[in-house]
A = this chain, B = another copy of it.
Amino acid sequence: MDTLDAYKEHLREIGKLESALSLLHWDQRTNLPRKGNAARSEVIGKLTKMVFGLSVSDKLGEYLDNLQGRDDLSEVERASVRVVGKAYRRHKAIPPAFYEEYAVAASRSETAWEEAKEKSDFGLFKPHLARMVEYARKFAEYYGYVDSPYDALIEEFEPGMTSAELKTIIEPLRDELVPFIKRLMEEGKRPEDGFMQGTFPEEMQRELSLKALAAMNYDFDAGRLDTTVHPFTTTIGPSDVRITTRFLPENILSGLASSMHEGGHALYDQGIPDELRWSGLDEGASFGIHESQSRMWENLVGRSRPFWKFFAPIAGEVVPQLSGVSAEDLYRAVNIVKPSLVRVEADEVTYNLHIMLRFELEEGLITGKIDVSHLPDLWRDAMKRYLGVVPDDDAHGVLQDVHWSSGLFGYFPSYMLGNLYSAQFFAAAHKDIEDLDAKIAEGRLSELLAWLRENIHRYGKMYEPKELIERVTGQAPDSSYFVRYIVDKYTDVYDLH
């Protein structure tokens, strides 16, 4: 067999095992009976090990060496070799014994975090977190970096991003957002949302989500909607991209927003062409780019005035209590801003500040500027400065997120970048699509989706985030689109003058 064919076959083998793994994970969180968990972990462990074995195998290394020198490859093949080769080198950089040691420590740390959060006792988690920071720093050394060890970590989630660049993004963003939020809260007029109070049966909420997903052109023949505790999207195969959501009995908006958010992720993966399947390129360009799709559908579409012009009558049909409410009132009610303690409950205006805070702290931990023991105080300080609210306990402060407990440093910025990218993409879509707002107001969301397919989805992981953004928008990543979007929208919604 030709090396190229053997290489592709090798990737297909990995892809098939990963597909089985995705199903095992999805099922674990949706259907698995309680007592089946122990055996499931073993099965997942086994398949994970097999995938890892294949992804660091000497055979793959030889294929990559051979193919990197060849000039007869297509653009897709070259991208595959680049992306797979990079992952290969990163995997190979980590000594297996070190990784196993880390995995054991991470599992213990997660358990300790759970207990610490339960008891709101940072002391229980502190030694584990210190250990996770140490591991992360060693990972960074193994991976290698130019300026900051943090760069070696963020590379996993946002290829090409650095902490230096993040700082240049964050500073002006913070300088705009912090005073703007203050003004909103002090001078703005909070929209009325009394008509959204009530209790909403799960079946009703489910129907509302299904209507929104159908309007988004989510393909139910290549996916499904289930419920779970923490919503997520799973790509089991190229035509099997499943959404989960959760419905809060007393909050009709939360489940809808969650479904549209996950729907945005799912549209991305449903839009990756069959040509890229099992090539190492059949996923989003980065965590940040993926988040840009979910946030675009959740916020820039799902919380927009045109969308509610279209969706208000539908919502009124499904939810009787909303049937008399105007589109404008609904639009305003879904856009209430409230600085709060918990990231996952934050609105689109305050959300990025939660991320900035985390970035500052984790970057400090990894570079050694911050000691673990100072985290709770630093957290409270930053919350006060950024959002004007301070947690009473660490459960609602430094202990709220799971990420650090398993050593995930460098992940948080993706959430913020997703917000920024989404605004820049949406602005580009507005340029390219005539009367996009009017189309959305008529429920013709397919034109936006076609644009995303054409400009973003179809490339999968072929381009790094920056290159993709330049190709799509003709510009380098630029946070001013997001600032403009937020300031314009909320000046209006909150009647600022």
Residues on A lying within 8 angstroms of B by beta carbon are 13, 16-17, 19-20, 23-24, 27, 31-36, 38-40, 42-43, 46-47, 219-224, 236-240, 242, 277
Contact = CB atoms under 8 A, between A and B. Distances in A.
What number of copies of this chain does the assembly contain? 2
Contact of A220 (B32, B33, B242): B33
A11 B240 CA distance: 31
Contacts of A39: 19, 237-240, 277
A224 B40 contact: no
Contacts of A27: 23, 27
Contacts of A236: 36
Q: Which of A31, A42, A219 has the most CB of B within 10 A?
A: A31
A220 B36 CA distance: 11
A224 to B, nearest CB: 6
Given A33-B223, A40-B237, A237-B40, A46 B23 contact: no
A224 B19 contact: no
Contacts of A31: 31, 224
A492 to B, nearest CB: 40
B35 A16 contact: no
A220 to B, nearest CB: 7
Contacts of A242: 33
A221 B19 contact: no
Contacts of A23: 23-24, 27
Given A221-B33, A221-B34, A222-B35, A237 B43 contact: yes
A238 B39 CA distance: 7
23 contacts: A16-B43, A16-B47, A17-B47, A19-B40, A19-B43, A20-B24, A20-B43, A23-B27, A27-B27, A31-B224, A33-B220, A33-B222, A33-B223, A33-B239, A33-B242, A34-B222, A35-B221, A35-B222, A36-B222, A38-B239, A39-B237, A39-B239, A40-B240
A177 B47 CA distance: 52
A237 B20 contact: no
Contacts of A239: 33, 35-36, 38-39
Contacts of A47: 16-17, 20
Contacts of A42: 16
Contacts of A277: 39
A36 B27 CA distance: 16
Contacts of A40: 19, 237, 240
A38 B34 CA distance: 31
A367 B46 CA distance: 45
A270 to B, nearest CB: 9
Nearest to A239: B35
A354 B363 CA distance: 73
Contacts of A43: 16, 19-20, 237
A44 to B, nearest CB: 9
Contacts of A16: 42-43, 46-47
A237 B36 contact: yes
Nearest to A20: B20
Contacts of A17: 46-47
A19 B46 CA distance: 11
